[in-house]
A = this chain, B = another copy of it.
Amino acid sequence: MKKLINSVENVLSESLDGFAAAHADIVVLGDERKFVRRRTLKPGKVALVSGGGSGHEPLHAGFVGTGMLDAACPGQVFTSPTPDQMVAAVEAVDTGAGALFIVKNYEGDVMNFEMAAEMAGREVLTVVTDDDVAVEKSTWSTGRRGVAGTLVVEKVVGAAAEQDRPLADLQALGRDVNARTRSMGVALTSCTVPAAGNPTFTLAEDEMEMGVGIHGEPGRRRVRLATADAIAEEMLGAILGDLSPPAGSQCLLLVNGFGGTPSMELYLMVNAARKILAGRGLTVSRHLTGSLVTSLEMAGCSITVTILDDATRTLWDAPVHTAALRW
Task: List residues of A whose CB falls within 8 A of some B CB.
Answer: 2-7, 11-12, 14-19, 21-23, 54-55, 57-58, 62, 77, 186, 188-189, 205, 208, 225, 227-229, 231, 259-272, 274, 284, 287, 289, 291, 294, 296-297, 299-301, 326-327
Are A229 and B267 within 8 A (Cβ)? no
A-B interface, 7 closest residue pairs, ranked by CB to CB distance from nearest: A18-B271, A18-B270, A18-B267, A57-B263, A22-B287, A4-B265, A2-B188
Contact partners of A4 in chain B: CB under 8 A = 186, 188, 228, 231, 261, 265-266, 268-269, 300-301
**Chain A binding site: helix, strand, loop or mixed by DSSP?**
mixed
Q: A6-B228, A57-B262 provided; 5 other pairs, C-beta below 8 A?
A: A11-B268, A18-B271, A18-B289, A21-B284, A261-B297
- Contact: B55 with A2, CB < 8 Å? no
Query: Known interface pairs A54-B264, A271-B17. Does A6 touch B229 (Cβ–Cβ under 8 Å)?
Result: yes
User: How far is A16 from B300 in the complex, measured between Cα atoms in Å?
Assistant: 19
Q: Which of B14, B205, B270 contacts A22 (CB 8 A)?
A: B270
Task: Determine the residue in chain B with the shortest Cβ distance to A188.
Answer: B2
Q: Are B18 and A262 in contact (CB-based, < 8 A)?
A: no
B299→A2 contact, CB < 8 A: yes
Query: Residue A264 contacts which of B228, B267, B289, B296 (CB distance < 8 angstroms)?
Result: B296
Tell me which residues across on chain B come within 8 A of A294, comparing CB atoms: 262-263
Given contacts A2-B205, A297-B262, contact A268 B18 (CB under 8 A): yes
Q: Which of B208, B268, B296 contacts A262 (CB 8 A)?
A: B296
Question: CA–CA, A117 to B106, complex, Å?
Answer: 58
Q: A262–B192 Cα gap in the complex (Å)? A: 11
5 chain-A/chain-B pairs, Cβ below 8 angstroms: A4-B228, A6-B229, A6-B272, A11-B268, A22-B270
Residue on B nearest A286 in the bound complex, by CB: B22
Q: Which residues of B contact A58 (CB under 8 A)?
A: 263
Inter-subunit contact B19/A267 (CB<8 Å) = yes
Contact A5 to B228, CB < 8 A, known contacts A265-B15, A271-B21: yes
